[in-house]
Amino acid sequence: MFSRINRTQFGKALPVQVSHRFSVDSAVFDDDHLVSCAGLVPVMALAERTGLSEVLTQMVYIAAPRIKSGSANPAPKLVTLIAGMCAGADCIDDVDVLRSGGMKTLFDAVYAPSTIGTLLREFTFGHARQLESVLAGHLARLCERVDLLPGADVRAFVDIDSLLRPVYGHAKQGASYGHTKIAGKQVLRKGLSPLATTISTDLAAPVIAGMRLRAGKSNSGKGAGRMVAQAIATARAAGITGQILVRGDSAYGTRAVIGAARRAGAQFSLVLTKNTAVQKAIDAIPEDGWTPVRYPGAVQDPDTGAWISDAEVAEISYTALASTKDAITARLIVRRVKDARHHDALFPVWRHHPFFTNSDEPLTDADITHRRHAIIETTFADLIDGPLAHMPSGHFGANSAWVLCAAIAHNLLRAAATLAGGRHAAARTATLRRKIVNVAARLTRPQRRPVLHLPTHWPWADAWLALWRNTIEPHPPPHCITA
């Protein structure tokens, strides 16, 4: 029926079909000059120009390894892992893609997955802290070379949140049962819980300032104060001169996080856990104090999962931490929406969502700005659709190193996307891998100069070439790029 309609209304059907007759032995893996991930050349050239190997060499040192050979030369091994993650590796074995076909000719010092796995198992908590320093230092270098955070001279945001990555093996160190929210419902899952901070602006997609792996049962706010302090320091080192606003949900409306933000001269916008004092402040808001606000796009109610596009907001002065020496008086902004579970109620039944802030934005703008804290979820989605699809090792230290290398790879791809320009500047990393990184090419050497022959009529050739011109020197040396 469909084919008949297609022919009569739209002309002759044009199916996509194989244009040749193949036999069973027509496919052979034997081309040593074919490159499967040609976009890794400019991406890793950017890593080289921003001194990733240098920072790793300076910061990462394993003094007392269990296997001496396994911990030797950590910098090139970690760069190999980061390059594999940029190409889409979500387990250690996937890194072997860098040794296929012409890839091993493009890059020097590419290590086998087994060697990388041996190195990762040498990592402890202290070595993971070394990688945290690499993440912050390399982000600062990326921002020196690339306009990664436009608008940072006006305002920037530090967002903090955690996620629970499920694991299923019986030998995963640190794996335990923790609570996570799926479709608005609390679910108990076994896993590991990375805590992350991101930096973004009104004009830029978020980059990762810090990540730390924790046990699945860890409280969401565990270590949050220190992470926020480090993220603000990283933001300043990355060249952010404007006002910094720290945002977080109810797990981070704590004395530690508020104190860290205040000591660093940053503003905060944090959800407070409802208690008697908060409820009393909400009840004190007069009925004529509520202002209607309509969001630019529908947002999801975190409690019911329902989509809403309008609400009412109000504010009242509130003193948090009143019984401590760190008591602070600021604005308690409350958003209320009608409870969808009470359609037939005689009077409106409201759900209240308060957050505590010392920003000086107008009421409705402050509410919208706070709601945009959800941008950190896009970073989590990128990581889950890439390196954090799995926690590859049974060793907690190895998984800690894996998480931090994933963050470094994420920032590197964000910088590459900025250099590619256009819509790619805000594209998801999965889109960048599909359009920019994982492009097939043939490597030739006319007059001993390497040339990559890429597909004709590649739809994103302009963006690819823009990245190439912004990362490759006009007359690159004949030596290969170090992966």
> Which secondary structure element, helix H or strand E, spans residue 140, and what is its range?
helix 125-145
Q: Residue 386's pLDDT is what? A: 94
Q: Residue 1's pLDDT is what? A: 43
The predicted-structure confidence for 341-373, as pLDDT tens digits, reads as follows 656 655 677 888 899 999 999 998 999 999 999
Question: In which band, very low, low, confident or very high, does the pLDDT at 14 lie, cut at 50, 70 and 90?
Answer: low
Give the chain's length: 483
CATH 3.90.350.10 in the chain: give the residue spans: 153-384
Six-digit token string for 63: 């003094």
Question: In which band, very low, low, confident or very high, does the pLDDT at 479 lie, cut at 50, 70 and 90?
Answer: very low
Q: Residue 5's pLDDT is what? A: 46
∠404-405-409 over CA atoms, to 5°? Answer: 120
Asked if the model's pLDDT at residue 100 lies above 60, the reply is yes
Q: Residue 317's pLDDT is what? A: 95
* Sheet strands (E) in 201-346: 207-215, 243-248, 267-271, 291-300, 307-320, 328-338
CATH number of the 153-384 domain: 3.90.350.10
Q: Please tell me the pTM assigned to this model.
A: 0.90
- Cα dihedral: 236, 240, 243, 244 (round 10): -60
Quick check: 345 and 331 in contact, CB under 8 A?
A: no
> 424-453 as b/e, with b when 16 or more CB fall inside 10 Å?
bbebbbebbbebbbbbebbbeeeeeebebe
Q: Residue 358's pLDDT is what? A: 95
Q: Residue 253's pLDDT is what? A: 93
Quick check: 209 and 231 in contact, CB under 8 A?
A: yes
Asked if the model's pLDDT at residue 262 lies above 70, the reply is yes
Quick check: 104 and 110 in contact, CB under 8 A?
A: yes
The predicted-structure confidence for 104-132, as pLDDT tens digits, reads as follows 888 888 999 999 999 999 999 899 999 99
Quick check: 267 and 359 in contact, CB under 8 A?
A: yes
Which is higher by pLDDT, 299 or 149? 149
Question: In which band, very low, low, confident or very high, does the pLDDT at 478 lie, cut at 50, 70 and 90?
Answer: very low
Q: Residue 90's pLDDT is what? A: 93
Question: In which band, very low, low, confident or very high, does the pLDDT at 385 lie, cut at 50, 70 and 90?
Answer: very high
Quick check: 377 and 196 in contact, CB under 8 A?
A: no
Q: Residue 329's pLDDT is what? A: 95
Quick check: 228 and 158 in contact, CB under 8 A?
A: yes
> 3-13 as b/e, with b when 16 or more CB fall inside 10 Å?
eeeeeeeeeee
Q: Residue 296's pLDDT is what? A: 66
Asked if the model's pLDDT at residue 175 lies above 90, the reply is no
The label of the residue with tokens 């190439």 reads: 468
Quick check: 97 and 80 in contact, CB under 8 A?
A: no
The predicted-structure confidence for 386-402, as pLDDT tens digits, reads as follows 999 989 999 999 999 99
Q: Residue 400's pLDDT is what? A: 96
Quick check: 161 and 248 in contact, CB under 8 A?
A: yes
What average pLDDT does this structure show over 296-308?
62
